[in-house]
Structure 1
Amino acid sequence: MACARAHALKRFRQTGTGVPTTQGDDMIRKFFPSPAWARAIALSALAMVAGTGWAQSYPSKAVTLVVPSLAGGAVDVAARTIQPRLAQELGVPVVIDNRTGAGGQIGNTFVAKASPDGYTVLMNAGSTLFSGVYRKLDYNPGDLIPVAMVATAGFLLVVPADSPFKTMQDLIAYGKAHPDKLNYASTGTGNSSHVGSEMFKMLSGVQANHVPYRGSSPALVDLVAGRVDFMLDNKASSLEHVKAGRLRALGSTPRRVPELPDVPAISEVLPDFHIEGWMGIFLPKGTPPAVVERLSAAFRATQSDPAITSRLSGQVGQGVLMQGEELRRFIAQDQQRLRRVVEHANIRAD
């Protein structure tokens, strides 16, 4: 009998089958009531071990930071600003890959379809991912998970220095009284400059024609020359022209800027107006949580460096750090706000 009980107990421990009958065996049954429960414990233990393994071994080689824009653009400048400190935090080289084309979608697609191992990371303007201006994509935006926001960029509403419009109210009054007589420049169809200008039109009642350019530089050349009437441009590229007297700033967003204390925020005239360029870090869906946390910690350390945030603020707008639930809420609100404008103006970039 004792031999039979011992054999049954051994089989139970090994396979989860058999029914122990002694008091000691009842204790085993108390803590391991079913084979399924025992398997669940084993799987949880394996997951913990695997997660610990990822955390301990990652990264073991260079990390590629994909930037879907040309060298010298705002996102590229921000990436190269954080690159050295990020490499220091990770303990491996960080290689920037400028994978351009299709308004950033080639780079986005490349990362979305990359192996979810933490070695291929996307840095891009968040608005290009979530505004809905691209209807035909080779990936699902949900295939990219946000890790961190690292920088924001404000905009200025600018007109030529000799423009008759001295205030936003002047521009709005003329645009409403003379439909389609105004022409506005943007840095490209579907980007924040375009969507923001359409938001301005939607909220103010102004009617104006869109003239897209390939970047700020050619657009600003024509604006300074008076060939277009106004533009919502990145503060980093237009502020120098305002300071030099070549352009006049009528408003700023998302708030007043310290360099132009007398220029009102656009929301002071149009309370529902809010658009803010932001740059984020994204990983392919399915990246192990331990890897996501390792990268998150590296970006927290990088963005806590005053020298990094100071350089970002001077070059692209403002160095920031937003992660976790706060970032998810921001993205949801930003997406809702932008898509409302995109649908109203029927903006399509593909």
Structure 2
Amino acid sequence: MKHMRFYTHLAVACASVMAFSSASVAAEYPNKQIELIVSYAAGGGTDLLARAYAEAVNKILPKSVGVVNKPGGSGALGLTEVARAKPDGYKIAMGVVEMTTLPALGMGRFEVDDFTPIARLNAEPAAITVQAEAPWKTYEEFMAYAKANPGKVRVGNSGTGAIWHLAAAALEQKTGVSFNHVPFEGAAPAVASLLGGHIEALAVSPAEVVTQVQAGKLKTLVVMGDVRAKGFENVPTLKEKGIDLSIGTWRGLVAPKKTPKEAIDVLKKATKQATEDPAFQQTLAKMNMSFSYMDAETFGSAMKKDEAFFNVLIPQLGLKK
């Protein structure tokens, strides 16, 4: 009987300690600066988004979020650092679609399950864009020409194995056409090459061609998203054309696996509040970035879906290093 009372008291004591510990973490977090790791160089889209987020969330959190650039390995270096970091909430990452492609390419020793999702902030679909004076007025005309001329249509992308290359390759698989994929060191030089008439098409996001489309130099034929893109409301989606393909890039916040729930809850609440700040949304609009918020659970499911998709597509393309 004495033993039973002892164990009962012990269990109550343990539960009290755990409850106090959780409350303590929630009350104290964050008590020092949070590092937000960006896996790319300063000045790019991911970096600019991270800095806009930090500016917004620093109005809310008691301690600041500081952006730290860790470029290398096409994004693998910074993502690996966060995946292996101490899961205490003080080192988080700007998660990117490459989280789901690099491992399949043999370039990243991590997987989606090594991260805890916080929220998605931005998403941009792939799109097929051609010169304004190109002979193809519609997606159907473009694809009919590509099918009749296998390998003749040069489609620019932002690098072999990068998301825009994978988007064009996925379109090939879905439709049976054959493109001549031309890699560039990023989307900007690919756009310049199309403007110069050195390639026939691009498979980059609408955001990366919006200025040239508005100037009447380029035209976008189709968008590879679930819905029509903002500013491109007259451009149909692949799904409207009967092609079940939605592919593009996204960016959001992730923490290492096993980060305490209390810390994640603080970050989720602060992030939701920060992204509702009109100044944050206006900053994204000025950068031609689409604000596309997803809560942690939905974001996690979307990442798993992409991971499964690329784990099949990339080996089929023979791109694994």
Kindly state the Cα deviation for residue 123 of structure 1 after the two structures are TM-superposed: 0.3
Equivalent in the alignment of 1:331: 303
CA RMSD of aligned residues (A): 2.1
Question: Partners in 2 of 1:155 and 1:137 — Cα distance?
Answer: 23
- Asked if 1:133 corresponds to 2:111, the answer is no
SS in 2 for 1:336: helix
C-alpha separation between the residues in 1 aligned to 2:295 and 2:12?
A: 31
Deviation at 1:314, TM superposition (A): 4.1
Q: Is this contact kept in 1: 2:104–2:310, CA < 8 A? A: no
Deviation at 1:228? Answer: 1.4
> How many residues are paired up?
319
Q: Aligned equivalents of 1:332 and 1:228: distance in 2? A: 34
Out of 102, 123, 126, the residue aligned to residue 152 of structure 1 is 123
- Rate the CA distance shift 1:226–1:39 in 2: closer, same or farther, 3 A: farther
Matches within 5 A, 1:165-180: 165-180=136-151
Q: Does 1:315 align with 2:287?
A: yes
Relative to 1, partners in 2 of residues 1:38 and 1:171: Cα closer, same or farther, differing over 3 Å?
farther
Tell me the residue number matched to 1:219.
Answer: 190
Look up the match of 1:142: 113
Note the C-alpha offset of 1:227: 1.2
- After TM superposition, give the deviation of residue 136 of structure 1 in Å: 4.4
Q: How does 1:230-309 map to 2 (within 5 A)?
A: 230-254=201-225, 255-309=227-281
Partner of 1:20: none
The normalised TM-score by structure 1 is 0.84
Cα distance, 1:154 vs. partner? 2.9
CA distance in 1, matches of 2:198, 2:11: 69
Shift of 1:332: 2.5
Question: AA paired with 1:331?
Answer: M
Secondary structure in 1 aligned to 2:119?
A: strand
Following superposition, the deviation at residue 194 of structure 1 comes to: 1.2
SS at match of 1:299: helix
The one-letter amino acid paired with 1:190 is G
For residue 197 of structure 1, report the CA deviation from its aligned partner.
0.8
Shift of 1:59: 1.0
Q: Does the 8 Å CA contact 1:117/1:291 hold for their aligned counterparts?
A: yes
- Structure 1: runs of 5 or more not aligned: 1-8, 18-28
State the alpha-carbon separation in 2 of the partners of residues 201 and 43 from structure 1. Answer: 59
* Counterpart check, 1:200 vs 2:171: yes
SS at match of 1:233: coil
**Contact conserved, 1:133 with 1:190, CA < 8 A, in 2?**
no
- Aligned partners of 2:119 and 2:229: how far apart in 1? 24
**Secondary structure at 2:143's aligned position in 1?**
helix
Residue 90 of structure 1 aligns to a residue whose secondary structure is coil
Q: Deviations over 1:199-258 (max 9, x none)?
A: 111112110122111111111111111211211112222111111122121112312234
Q: CA deviation at 1:54?
A: 1.0
* Structure 1 runs (4+) greater than 6 angstroms displaced: none
Larger radius of gyration between Structure 1 and Structure 2: 1
Q: Percent identity?
A: 27
Instruction: State the match for 2:66 in structure 1.
Output: 95
Structure 2 contact 85–91 (Cα < 8 Å) conserved: yes
The structure-2 alpha-carbon separation of the partners of 1:43 and 1:212, relative to structure 1 and needing over 3 Å to count, comes to farther
- 1:65 equivalent in alignment to 2:14: no
* Gapped regions of structure 2 (runs ≥ 5): none
Q: Distance in 2 between matches of 1:258 and 1:328?
A: 24
